[in-house]
Structure 1
Amino acid sequence: MEGKAINAALMAVQRDLKAPKSNTNSFGKYRYRSCEDILEAVKPLLNENGLVLLLGDTIEQIGSRYYVKATATLIDVATGDTITNTALAREPEEKKGSDASQVTGAASSYARKYCLNGLFAIDDTKDPDTDEYRRESQNRAVASGNGNANNVPRSGGNGAQTGAQAAKTANDKASAVRALNEEMKRTGASGKEVQQIAEAMVHKSSVNDMTAYEVALLAKNLEAELAKRAGA
C-alpha cells in the first residue's frame, strides 16, 4: 500500500524521539523546547529510518495581519513518499529592538516548532497552558504560606485562608500566569521586556511575587505597554 513504508518509519521516529525542554523563560518561570532542540534530537532518528526532513516558510495575509506558514515535509529516501504538516504563527505588529527580518524570523521559529510538534507527535503536557502545569502552580502557591501544603491553616479566622480559599487563590494565579504567557507569545515580548514593564507597573520583577490581579493586569496591558515603549 502506498505510503506504508514512510508511515512505519514515522511511527518509529515518534516512538523514539526525546526532545527535552532545555530552555527556561526566566520571567514566566517555565521551561520550553525550541525548534533547534527538536531538530537536534530528531536528526539521528531520521538517518536511522531513511528519512529526510525539509522545512520551509511562506507569508500569508489573513484579514489585516500577516502570518508565517511553516511547512515540514518528511521524505522516504527509498520510495520518495512524503508526509507534510503545516503550522501558522502571526507576526507581531511591532517588537521593540527588532527589525522586520527579526520579527519574521521569530514568527518562523515559533511556527516551525509547532509544525514539528504536530508531525512528530511531541507531547507538551507540562507547557504553561496545560492542566498539569496548572496543578503544579496551585501546589506551589498553596505550599507557599508555611512551606508545606499540609500547613495551610484550615481556619478562616484572623485573616487566615482556608484550604478551599488557598486553592482558589492558586487557581486564579495559575490562570493569570497562563494568560500572561499567551500574551507574551502573541506579542513576541521577551522576558526582559515583560520584567521591565512589570517593575514599572506593579513594582515587582517576578510573577512569583505578584498577586493574581497584578499578573492579570500585566497581561491585559502588555500589548499597549510594548507599543508605548516602541514609540518612545
Structure 2
Amino acid sequence: MSIYEKLRHIQLGLKAPKSQYNEFGNFFYRNCEDILFAVKPLLEEENCTIVISDELLLIGERYYVSATVELIDCETGEKVSNRSYAREEHSIKGMASSQITGSASTYARKYALNGLLCIDDSRDPDSADKSDADKPTSPLGKEELLNEFKREIKRTGKSYKYFLREAAANAIEELSEDFLNNALIMLRKCPDKKKGDA
C-alpha cells in the first residue's frame, strides 16, 4: 500500500470533533491537540507516524512561522507533507516574545494538519470563511477599525472587557489591527442585542 493510500484511509477514518468551547462567541472549535489525539489510533493502524517541524521566516519586515507536517510510512520511509504559515504579531501586551512565537506556531501547525488530513475548518471564526461577513469591504486603518469595533460592540451588546482580557490590554486603543480585524469577524456573526439588555 502506498503512502497516499494510507493517507486516504486516515483522512476517511479521522473523526476530530470540536471539543473546545468559546463562551463569548457561543461556538465549538478544535485545536491542534484535538487533531493529534484523534489521529493517533489511525496512525497505529496504518503503521505511520507524523512529524511536525517549524521554521521562522523573515518576509519583508514581518516574521512568519512556517509549520510543516509530514506523514511518514514506517515500513517504507515514504513521506507526504503539507505546510502552513502564520504571521507573528510585533507585540502583544502581557506576552513574552517566546509566547508570541508559540501562538503563531500553534496556529500554523493546526492549519498544516488540516490541509494534510483533509479537515475543513471553514466554519471556524479564525479561518478564511467565505461568507460576506468575513470579507472586508475595504482595507481599514487603525482609527476606522476602532470605530467599526465600537459600533459592533454597541450593536451586539457585547462587553469590551472580554476583548481586553483576550488581548491582555488595558484599553481598546492598545488592540492591534490584526486583533481588531479578527474581533470584527466574530462580532459581525453575532445577532443584535435584545431590547431591554444593558
Q: TM-score range by the shorter chain?
A: 0.5 to 0.7
* Deviation of 1:23 (Å): 1.4
- 3-state DSSP of counterpart to 1:72: strand
Q: Is residue 2:25 matched to residue 1:36?
A: no
Query: Matches of 2:85 and 2:172 in 1, distance apart?
Result: 20
1:10–1:69 Cα change, 3 Å: same
1:188-222: CA deviation from partner (whole Å, max 9, x where unpaired): xxxxxxxxx99x956959x7436xxxxxxxxxxx9
Aligned to 2:175: 226
- 3-state DSSP of counterpart to 1:7: helix
Q: Is residue 2:9 matched to residue 1:21?
A: no
1:223–1:101 Cα change, 3 Å: farther
1:68-93: CA deviation from partner (whole Å, max 9, x where unpaired): 00011111011110111110000011
The runs of 5 or more residues in structure 1 that have no matched partner are 135-170, 181-196, 211-221, 228-232
Query: Matches of 2:76 and 2:61 in 1, distance apart?
Result: 42
- 3-state DSSP of counterpart to 2:3: helix
Query: What aligned pairs does 1:143-182 form with structure 2 within 5 A after superposition?
Result: 175=133, 178=134
1:179–1:24 Cα change, 3 Å: farther
- 3-state DSSP of counterpart to 2:115: helix
Aligned to 1:209: 157
Aligned to 2:129: 130
Aligned to 2:116: 119
| Runs (4+) off by over 4 Å | 200-205
- 3-state DSSP of counterpart to 1:107: helix
Query: Matches of 2:42 and 2:152 in 1, distance apart?
Result: 48
Aligned to 1:62: 59
Match of residue 46, structure 1, among 36, 43, 48: 43
The percent identity for this pair of structures is: 45
- 3-state DSSP of counterpart to 1:21: coil
**Larger of the two Rg values belongs to structure:** 1
Aligned pair count? 152
* TM, length-normalised to structure 2: 0.67
Aligned to 1:137: none
Query: Matches of 1:21 and 1:89 in 2, distance apart?
Result: 21
Q: Tell me which protein shows more helix as a share of its residues.
A: 1
Aligned to 1:85: 82
Query: Matches of 2:108 and 2:175 in 1, distance apart?
Result: 22
* Deviation of 1:125 (Å): 4.1
